Amino acid sequence: MKVPLSWVREFVPLPESLTPSEIVERLVALGFEVEGVQDFRDEIQGPIQVAQVLEIEEITGQKKPIRYVKVAASDERFVICGAQNFSVGDFVVLALPGSVLPGNFAISARETYGKTSNGMICSARELGMGEDHSGIIVLDPTQVKESIARGADAIELLTLNDVVLDIAVNPDRGYAMSIRGIARELALAFDLPFTDPINLAPNLPLTDNPGVTTPKLEAGADFIVLRSIENINVTAPTPLRMVRRLQMAGMRSISLAVDITNYIMLEFGQPLHAFDKAKIAGALRVRRAGTTKNLVTLDGNDHPLNENDLLIADDNGALALAGTMGGLQSEVTSETRSITIEAAHFFPMDVAKNARAHKLSTEASRRFERGVDPQLPLAASARAIALLTELAGGSYLGGKSDGAPATLEPIPIHPGYVSELIGGEYSHDVVQRSLEKIGAEVNSERAEWVVTPPSWRPDLSMKADLVEEVARIEGYEKIPSTLPPSPLSRGLTPLQKRRRRIAQFLADRGLLEVQNYPFISPETIELMGFKGARARTYKIANPISEREPLLRPHMVPGLIDAAVRNMGRGAKSMALFEIGSVFRAPETIPPPPELGTEQRPTPEEIAALYASVPDQMLVVGILLAGDAQADSWLGKARAYGWHDAIALAQEIIELTGNVGTVHRSDFTPWHPGRCAEVRVGDFAAAHVGELHPRIIAHYGLPPRSSALMLNFGALPIVGPTRVRPLSNMVPTIQDIALVVPTDCEVAEIIKALYQGGGELLERVELFDRYTGKPLAQSEISYAFTLTFRAPDRTLTAEEAGALRDSAVAATASLGARLRG
Amino acid sequence: MSENLRELISAAKTAFEQASDLDQFKSARLSHLGDKSPIALANRELSQLAPTDRAARGQEINSVKSEIAAMAQSREEELTRERDERILIEERVDVTLPTRVSQRGGLHPLTLLRDDICDLFVGLGYEVAEGPELESEWLNFDALNIPADHPARTMQDTFFIEPLTTKLVLRTHTSPVQVRTMLDRKPPIYVICPGRTFRSDELDATHTPVFNQVEGLVIDEHITMAHLKGTLDHFATAMFGEGINTRLRPSFFPFTEPSAEVDIRCFVCRGESKECRTCKGEGWVEWGGCGMVNPKVLIACGIDINRNSGFAFGMGLERTLMFRHGITDMREIVEGDVRFTAQFGVGR
Ligand SMILES: [Zn+2]
């Protein structure tokens, strides 16, 4: 809302000594963000005067017609002028030498066309009053009356020295989208008297004369007033001062009738619409569109209508989109002789829906959406008729209304509640005065007061609303600063601690955390080879990018994207991880229960509500690409491989207090021969390994790039570790080499060794691996160190030997034999 | 003492001094103290002396021998020290060689910040509450007094999931976690809710469709707006340093009443420069939103409004991070450039 201060001053006597920044400061403290201040006083400098044209000499022989004009301002002088739209006797605006016009345009006497020009006759654009540059401003003496005199200060006359505040109004404060509302706020801010602008409206009775348009409310509004006027001269000019104010408020002057409705909307906050009365067939109805097909609005757009759109219609069809925009067909034109002014109180939701459905956010719809004072239609329409009569002639035919303005519910409140909720001291006196300042009626006879909000404050419906008003008017800066009592906390949950430990562990291991957008394209899912349940995810109805409408069902594609992006910026090797949610949709999503908000849902409803939100896996994803260690003076580079990824998977699982076992797997997007599943019990906690060569090639990743995704959120929470006593006995070490078929998995051999070695076999470590002569092609040899230890004694050589033999024997079923 | 014994001392002294390293010294010691050294021979000749002379001569020899031995020991220590020092000099390396040859890791700055904030509030007795990113409309909107026709629920602001009958959205704030908390437990409730949130904004210098929030919720008996202000002041000082407090400005949110915008004292000029570009000379910078929990929200969650009141606040983590680290373009945070994250290093 752009607010010229001169307009506000008509209703609240702001002292001239108040600076714009002081006013802004108070508005901000009252909850109005001021997004800009335009101080025209900085942009224009006099002397700029009203001048009367005395003589005109046409200078010919130039490229364009030029006039040499004798004018009378505070003195008589000659000026050169290129405009033609004035004649002798007209009053014009003259910038005298020494004056400065907007755009830092300094006026001085100058020689031109062989004459001396002692000033400049100004167009509206030259004065910063809008875009009109078709001719100079000709003042209409009937409009500005006594202020027009030779030599009068035109800066004052045309309010070229105004200050305009651009005020952001929160959605609950519709009343402030008007000069009326802002003036009221400034009056209470500076403790000044406030004159309500609606006093400007004459008391114009609604009389049902023949020819008066009849309103009929059928939906979407509770009050409507129509007033009709006939025999008007619609081509009469809009007073300059009105044009200027509209322009400062960010609106264009269109025609007198439209300008008047806009002016009153800005001043009162009540949107009005002027219909060409002759074009209304029968009664004017506020109704749903129903089967009405379409409406061409004032901007020329043809809108197909939805069944529930709220219309203003006559017997022939739609006339306007209620509270949003008028229709082209019933618009006031230069042919119009009679007008019907419509002033209604439309319901905010209906106008909001209209505006949204047709993408028409207008000055009117923005006000109705936020709530307009339902008491305004009578006064606003009366003022419109008065201004039309005054400026366009015509005679008032009469008016009719339908419905009645709604009244607001009184709110019971104990005055002490303000102090109780805010935590400061607010005396009964302060509470009463604050509420009265905003226009509320306070009945403080009983201990529990009854506060009736003013008609323009539909946002006030409960005691907390009143508390905010008192606190706001007293100033939020008066709210004390104290800490609440310290409650009992159990600190982070085990899962939260787990997440932190994993992240810190990976960072310490040289991995860098990224946070990718969780969006993915169907093409990527296809490329990754995800199928069935692993590909079933959610589709966003309105994605940012049509290319990526899906939620990620997996962490690895995003990590690959991040790696590719970084490689594009010069990175060669990357170890990345991300912790977050991945999304896999169940085959059917349970429908949500229908829930109100008037009371707590039942336990069954809460259970159904939670069940309607499918589980989202909390996972860690890792991508290892390129070198773990670069070439350096210490030696050659070491590239990341599948084994690094598997090691990380196991270590992460160990961090959670669980034990992971590695099993061969064959899952996309991994290399079919280099993919493992790491299980905790029977639960597949992670898939991990080298990425499929096809995917590595597609993205241009470093060869052998490896990845993992681990569902750590689903791993069991393990309680505190139970410690076992440590043995101080000397361990007995036994090295063995086993020859096995090449397709025998080491994990199986180690498992067998542990089984065979029994409880005294403390550790099995693989320290060598050998193929080649003298082994057969189908054979491989693994060398292990077995560490035996008893808790209570040092094992004898015989005992250790027997244990070793028993361990080896257990591997026989895998086809293993001791190597010579 | 006999002349020849005295000469043995000076000969040994000369020999030890002439030994320039431990090897030479060892042979010198062998010659002067070994089995075949003159002193050893003199000792062996004792038996040939008359018993009357033997004791005195023996005493003489022993004293010479221990004098030579002392000299040997001191020379050996000296040479050992010289050798050790030489070795240390020879073993000198260039300690400025690059030693970090492994990949460098680090946590994302948003993670560091989130953990910092959680730690701060855990210290104040709060717990950390989290919830799903894909959330029910009722929890994300209805329960928070944002009715079905509210502008925030349009396609311009919220990501909806198909089919729309699932009533699933990508949460637009972490407030549904507050609702879940109120449904799941009874007051007193003191929670901090960090998490990822979504709005259908295009990515630019100050907007991202995927961002992070941290919200706080307190529900207890006699909770006031002064408690809210005190908590925010404490939070701001912890985040931005001593002297950075907050200012509340009246505002509007459907889920709080009274509501306020939270500004912090400009951390660049501290309100002392009209030319400051960070605060545009206003001395304050917008940080987040807050208010007393709207009774309608409490009722929808079954909190007894005659007994309890509460406050809530919410801040953008990205914005907080930008303030703390002088980041001017939000895209740097979200683009995942490893060079950006690496600046924050492991731990800090
Ligand atoms: Zn500043």
Average pLDDT in the B199-213 region? 90
The per-residue pLDDT of chain B, averaged, comes to: 91
B96, B97, B108, best to mutate vs chain A, most A CBs in 10 Å = B108
How far does A422 lie from chain B, in Å, by closest CA?
A: 5
pLDDT of residue B347: 39
Average pLDDT in the B286-301 region? 97
Sequence-distant (6+) residues with CB within 8 A of A578 are: A513, A514, A515, A516, A555, A558, A559, A562, A620, A621
Give the span between the Cα atoms of B180 and B139, in whole angstroms.
Answer: 7
Find the residue in A nearest to B101 (Cα). A629
Q: How far is CA A429 from CA A432, A474, A759, in A?
A: 5, 12, 84
User: Across the interface, which of A493, A597, A601 has its CB nearest the CB of B296?
Assistant: A597
Identify which of B272, B267, B268, B218 has the alpha carbon closest to the alpha carbon of residue B246: B267
- How many CA atoms lie less than 13 Å away from B181 in the CB half-sphere? 25
How much distance in Å is there from the Cα of B247 to the middle of ligand 1? 14
A313 and A337 in contact (C-beta within 8 Å)? no
Encoded tokens for A420:
């109780």
Q: What is the pLDDT of residues A633-644, one digit of tens each?
A: 999 999 999 999
User: Across the interface, which of A484, A500, A599 has its CB nearest the CB of B299?
Assistant: A599
Give the Cβ contact number of residue A729 at 10 Å: 14
Find the residue in B nearest to A545 (Cα). B202
Find the residue in B nearest to A31 (Cα). B250
A788 and A757 in contact (C-beta within 8 Å)? yes
Give the Cβ contact number of residue A721 at 10 Å: 7
H-type alpha helices, A72-221: 141-144, 154-157, 179-190
User: Across the interface, which of B225, B231, B336 has its CB nearest the CB of A479?
Assistant: B225
User: Across the interface, which of B101, B168, B258 has its CB nearest the CB of A630?
Assistant: B101
A356 and A389 in contact (C-beta within 8 Å)? no
pLDDT of residue A87: 84
Could you identify the residue written with the tokens 């003036």?
A: A183
pLDDT at residue B156 greater than cutoff 80: no
Give the span between the Cα atoms of A819 and A51, in whole angstroms.
Answer: 119
pLDDT of residue B201: 85
Q: Which amino acid is at A781?
A: S
Give the Cβ contact number of residue A320 at 10 Å: 26
Give the span between the Cα atoms of B74 and B348, in whole angstroms.
Answer: 54
**pLDDT below 70 — which residues of chain A?**
141-147
How much distance in Å is there from the Cα of A38 to the middle of ligand 1? 22
How much distance in Å is there from the Cα of B274 to the middle of ligand 1? 8
Where b means 16+ CB within 10 Å and e means fewer, B7-23 reads ebbeebbebbeebeeee
Where b means 16+ CB within 10 Å and e means fewer, B259-284 reads bbbbbbbbbebeeeeeebeebeebbb
User: Across the interface, which of B124, B149, B337 has its CB nearest the CB of A569?
Assistant: B337
Q: What is the pLDDT of residues B101-145, one digit of tens each?
A: 788 889 999 999 999 999 999 999 999 999 999 999 999 999 999
Contact A516 B162 (CB under 8 A): no
Give the span between the Cα atoms of A278 and A261, in whole angstroms.
Answer: 19
Find the residue in A nearest to B94 (Cα). A633
Encoded tokens for A738:
């086993």
Backbone φ and ψ for A199, nearest 5 degrees, come out as -65, -20
Q: A167: which strand partners?
A: A34
Give the span between the Cα atoms of B315 and B290, in whole angstroms.
Answer: 9
Q: Which amino acid is at A108?
A: S
How much distance in Å is there from the Cα of B289 to the middle of ligand 1? 20
pLDDT of residue A142: 62
Give the span between the Cα atoms of B238 and B146, in whole angstroms.
Answer: 32
Q: Does A354 touch chain B (CB under 8 A)?
A: no
Q: Does A150 touch chain B (CB under 8 A)?
A: no
Contact B337 A575 (CB under 8 A): no
pLDDT of residue B348: 38
Give the span between the Cα atoms of A94 and A136, in whole angstroms.
Answer: 10
How much distance in Å is there from the Cα of A223 to the middle of ligand 1? 49
Q: Does A475 touch chain B (CB under 8 A)?
A: no
Residues of chain A found within 8 Å of residue B199, distances taken between Cβ atoms: none
Long-range CB pairs of A204-209, under 8 A, 24+ apart, other chains included: A204/A382, A204/A385, A204/A386, A204/A396, A204/A399, A206/A378, A206/A398, A206/A399, A206/A400, A206/A401, A207/A398, A207/A399, A208/A398, A208/A400, A209/A397, A209/A398
pLDDT of residue B69: 92
Bridge-based pairing state of the strands A215-217 and A284-288? parallel
Q: Which amino acid is at A314?
A: D
Identify which of B325, B322, B303 has the alpha carbon closest to the alpha carbon of residue B312: B303
In total, the C-beta contacts within 8 angstroms joining chain A to chain B are 281
Query: How open is the CA angle A432-A434-A436, to the nearest 5 degrees?
Result: 70
Cα radius of gyration rounded to whole Å, chain B: 41
Contact B162 A540 (CB under 8 A): yes
Q: Does A236 touch chain B (CB under 8 A)?
A: no
Q: Does A642 touch chain B (CB under 8 A)?
A: no
How much distance in Å is there from the Cα of B267 to the middle of ligand 1? 7
